[in-house]
Structures are given as C-alpha cells and as structure tokens.
Amino acid sequence: MSRVAVVLSGCGYLDGSEIHESVITLLALDRAGAEVQCLAPDKPQRDVVDHRSGQPVEGESRNVLAESARIARGEIRDVADARAEDFDAVILPGGFGAAKNLSSFAVEGPGCTVDPGVERLLHDAHAAGKPIGVICIAPAIAARLFPGVDLTIGSDPDTAGALEQMGAHHKACAVEAYVCDEKARVVSCPAYMLGPGIKDVAAGIEKLVGEVLRLAG
C-alpha cells in the first residue's frame, strides 16, 4: 500500500485549495487503496476572499492549516513536521492557495519563493526519487524547485511563459490528460486551469493519481 502526502493550502479556490480538485484527489487515492496523510502549513493565509463576490475581505485572517482541516475532516498535520521518508509520493492540488500560501507565485511570479516546509518536503522527496503530482496552478511550485522539469498548466500562454522563465519546459495539455516527466518523476495536469467542469477535471486528476501511484511502485 502506497502512503501519499496530500499538501493542502486552505479551503476555497480563491484563497486556498480548490475543493473539487482536493476531494477528487483524495477519492482517487482512496479508491486505489493508498494511505493518505493531509498536510498544510501552520500560518496565516495571504488573504481571505469572499467566494460569492470574489472580493478580498478586509480585516479578516484565517490559518492555512485550520482551513485545510475542513477538507481533511480534521485528519491533518503541519507540513513543517512531515518527513519525506514517511511517504511514497506527494501530491499538491491546485487553487490560488498553492500560489498564495504554499508559494508567492500569485504575487511575485517567476521570482516567487516556496513555503519552507513545502520546499523541504518536495526537495527531500525528489532527492529520494519519489514521485510528485502537481495539479492546476501547483506546477508553478515544481517549476520553481526543479529547473528543467517538463510540466503543464494547460494552455494559458502567460502562465506557461512564467513557468518557462523559472526554467521549466511547458507542454500544452488537454484537461482530461496529464504530463509525466519520467526522469524528474513529476506528474502534472491542468484541472481547473482549463475546466470547464468537474467531470472533465476529474478525468485528468484520476489519471494523474494513477500515474503517481504507478511511479511510486
């Protein structure tokens, strides 16, 4: 049985994890018989967004770990305490939280930094040859950490260009497909970077999960 770390970034696509992508990932892993441990940084979100209006909420602060626990049904740990040796693979769902809370890509673009706990976990997993799955906008984190990696965010030229500025090789990809860099052992899919609906997003994520588990052995 593969043990997989799923790194969340809050709860809600505008300021945290994309809920559909996260749940599809967890469901696909469970159906495949994998053991899952959800992780998230224990720190304030970069911002809080009203998901009805799409506007930032002034004066409100939320904790990334506490918000991610909503998706994980409370079964979650601080990513800073996680060790790559305890897992066979790592998967990062998307949502703006990946670009705001797990990294600063939403604000700083190609000059972004990655949360220290997330960076350590991914570097250690990569160094040990363990597969990493990145969904939606989360490939920006892989581009920052692993120059030369092949990956996809779908077909958006501006975002693809930003990833290539960080040294990644972007591959255009349909929503129901994925890109696998066999050498780097990084698997990516566009999900809601393309949409258009949950069934389309699910098709790509389920294939990504299958490929990550194949690589994990």
Q: Which residues are catalytic?
A: 136
Q: Which residue has the tokens 């780097």?
A: 184
Q: How far apart are CA 159 and CA 129, in angstroms?
A: 27
Amino acid letter, 101? N
Q: Determine the 3-state secondary structure of 136 from DSSP.
A: coil
Reading the block at residue 7, the tokens are 């790194």
Q: How far apart are CA 68 and CA 114, in angstroms?
A: 18
Q: How far apart are CA 137 and CA 97, in angstroms?
A: 9
19-29 burial code (b ≥16 CB/10 A, e <16): bbbbbbbbebb
Amino acid letter, 180? C
Contact between residue 70 and residue 61 where contact means Cβ atoms under 8 Å apart: no
Nearest-CA neighbor of 8 among 107, 128, 126, 96?
96
Cα–Cα distances in angstroms (integers) from residue 155 to residues 103, 109, 204, in the given order:
21, 17, 14
